[in-house]
Structure 1
Amino acid sequence: MRLALFDKGRLGLVEGDHLVDVTDQVAGADTAGPAGVLQRHIEAVADGSTVRFDLTGRVRVPLARAALAAPLPRPGKIIGAPVNYLDHKAEMEYTTSVADLGVFLKANSSVIGPGEDIVLPYTDKRTDQEGELGVVIGRTASHVSVDDALDHVFGYTCVLDITVRSGEDRSTRKSFDTFTPIGPWIVTADEIPDPDSLDLRCDVAGTTRQRTNTADLIFGVRELIAYTSSVMTLHPGDVIATGTPAGVGALGHGDRVVLEIERIGRLEVGVDGSRAAPYAQRPGRRNP
């Protein structure tokens, strides 16, 4: 299944070029809050509920007319995998990789959805796109094995991990509001038999910057879940951004960023630099 949020919090099942509204078939949908209806559905599945959406006579909305939102607007955790492709390690001249660095956290308030804008914070610090496969956890995971890791996945999505190239810790540089576009929907795990064999492409302003296959990940999806769950308990709805390949680069005002992942979909967002300010004017700065 492909499950999307649309039109101010409705849950839709994607069928061809239409969305079928199944919101009222999710228990507690009317009190879902900022986490969204899809989060409620993921939790219900994790609790053992067998949810089979009845599509008979349901309202169908053309995808072209639907206002898609981030499928998980406020995930419990967003976990990033730094330097998880060898070619990205080479282009950034890093001496370490995910195997040395571990994982990091991003603020869940940084999430936006399809069609929204990445807001550039600074006029004089480069802000880069990083296209990544996103893994959505479906069952509580703590110290799971590599062999059992995929049993804890609800589905997959596209994630853009936007990054300021400045001196702060990763979690700061990657947690600005709008810095985690997610979408356009979540594809359930049964439709992706091998997440470590998916083509990924990211275009900026009509030019392809990143092209890879997830087979080139240093820590594949299984290893990444096993490692992360040995550090922190993963809960239903948590999102792991699996890392970015070579080709990161500066974003500019008016750019369109398009991330496409095989079998998953196409996420497109804009870039707004109209409110950017000099780095030296940031709150909390210190004079030499």
Structure 2
Amino acid sequence: MRVCVYDDDRVGALASDSTIVDLTDLVPGHTPADERMNALIANWDAVKPTAAERVAAGGGVPEADAVLRAPQPRPRNLFAAPVNYHKHQQEMGGDAGVYVGRQILTAEVRKGFLKAATSIVGPDGAIELPWEDRRFDHEAEIGVIIGKKASRVSTDDALDYVFGYTPLLDITLRGEEDRSFRKSFDTFTPIGPYIVTADEVDDPEKLDFWLTVNGEERQKSNTSYLIYGIAKLIEVYSEVMTLQPGDIIATGTPEGVGQIVPGDTVVLTIPEVGELTMPVVARA
């Protein structure tokens, strides 16, 4: 199933007739608008049969007429894996890397960092670059949405705790500031347009994906090249803290990261999950 947030922050799903059917009544009425997806995910086992019936029946808002927003606007935690592909490690450091002469440590050492949840933006928005005199890069990633509380889970069991997957861009300011600062600007975590539930993804550890800027391919890889795979990331993070329904893990980016500037259009394609298109603008 492909679930989303649309129009006036309603939660819905893409139906078989290419309409968006409303699922908002399946979450408690007192739920704040930006918490509705968290509530839907937390209660998914109970509401899934009703949601499936509505998806089969269709008759909702035509997809072309709906305003699709970030499908998970307010996770409690937004985790990110640093340098989780070996070829990305190579392009960041060494004699010709972005950080010339540096030894770049991978996720095996750095493990992870937190981004501000307020950096999330959906396909209804844009990537807003705040400064003209600094370099900002695109990073293509898979977003993993946690489905239930996970504490000290093993790699073997980890994928049982996944609700779904979404295209995710990790926009990055290059420089000497801490990672969390450089990656937490408003609009620096575009996601969407849908979360595809885990039961519709055959093998998340073998997902093809690619990124283009203005039609030019810059990144192309497969999650099988991850240093820490999706299950391993869940094991590592859940050993430290209890993951909550709706939490997002950004799995890391492969080689090919490059600068973006106002006027660019960035497109991330994950065939089994979806396509995210984001314009780049200067912050007003």
Q: Same-fold call, TM > 0.5?
A: yes
Secondary structure of residue in 1 paired with 2:90:
helix
Where does 1:1-288 land on structure 2 (aligned, <5 Å)?
Answer: 1-16=1-16, 18-28=18-28, 30-45=29-44, 49-52=46-49, 53=51, 54-55=53-54, 59-93=59-93, 94-273=103-282, 275=284
Question: Structure 1 residues 260, 7: closer, same or farther in 2, change over 3 A?
Answer: same
Which is further off, 49-58 or 246-255?
A: 49-58
Please tell me whether the aligned partners of residues 26 and 37 of structure 1 are also in contact (alpha carbons under 8 angstroms).
Answer: no
- In 1, distance between residues paired with 2:185 and 2:33? 18
Unaligned runs of 5+ in 1: 276-288
- In 1, distance between residues paired with 2:17 and 2:127? 26
- In 2, distance between residues paired with 1:74 and 1:24? 16
Which is further off, 128-137 or 36-45?
A: 36-45
Percent identity, please. 46
The CA deviation at 1:115 is 3.4
Question: Structure 1 residues 190, 106: closer, same or farther in 2, change over 3 A?
Answer: same
Letter in 2 for 1:111: I
Which is further off, 196-205 or 234-243?
A: 196-205
The CA deviation at 1:241 is 0.2
The CA deviation at 1:193 is 2.8
Q: Cα deviation per residue 1:50-92 (whole Å; 9 max; x = unaligned)?
A: 5312327664222222110001111111100000011100110
- In 2, distance between residues paired with 1:261 and 1:39? 23
- In 2, distance between residues paired with 1:104 and 1:180? 14
Which is further off, 56-65 or 130-139?
A: 56-65
Q: Cα deviation per residue 1:142-175 (whole Å; 9 max; x = unaligned)?
A: 1100000001101111110110002110000000
Secondary structure of residue in 1 paired with 2:165:
strand
Please tell me whether the aligned partners of residues 17 and 63 of structure 1 are also in contact (alpha carbons under 8 angstroms).
Answer: no
- In 2, distance between residues paired with 1:8 and 1:168? 36
Instruction: Provide the TM-score with structure 2 as the length reference.
Output: 0.91
Secondary structure of residue in 1 paired with 2:48:
coil
Secondary structure of residue in 2 paired with 1:202:
strand
Question: Structure 1 residues 91, 258: closer, same or farther in 2, change over 3 A?
Answer: same
- In 2, distance between residues paired with 1:232 and 1:164? 27
Q: Cα deviation per residue 1:238-277 (whole Å; 9 max; x = unaligned)?
A: 00000000111111111111111121000111111254xx
Secondary structure of residue in 2 paired with 1:42:
helix
Aligned length: 272
Secondary structure of residue in 2 paired with 1:69:
coil
Please tell me whether the aligned partners of residues 22 and 58 of structure 1 are also in contact (alpha carbons under 8 angstroms).
Answer: no
Aligned to 1:278: none
Question: Structure 1 residues 230, 24: closer, same or farther in 2, change over 3 A?
Answer: closer
Please tell me whether the aligned partners of residues 12 and 19 of structure 1 are also in contact (alpha carbons under 8 angstroms).
Answer: no
Q: Cα deviation per residue 1:218-250 (whole Å; 9 max; x = unaligned)?
A: 001111110111122100000000000011111
- In 2, distance between residues paired with 1:204 and 1:213? 19
Letter in 1 for 2:63: L
Aligned to 1:279: none
Letter in 1 for 2:18: H
Unaligned runs of 5+ in 2: 94-102
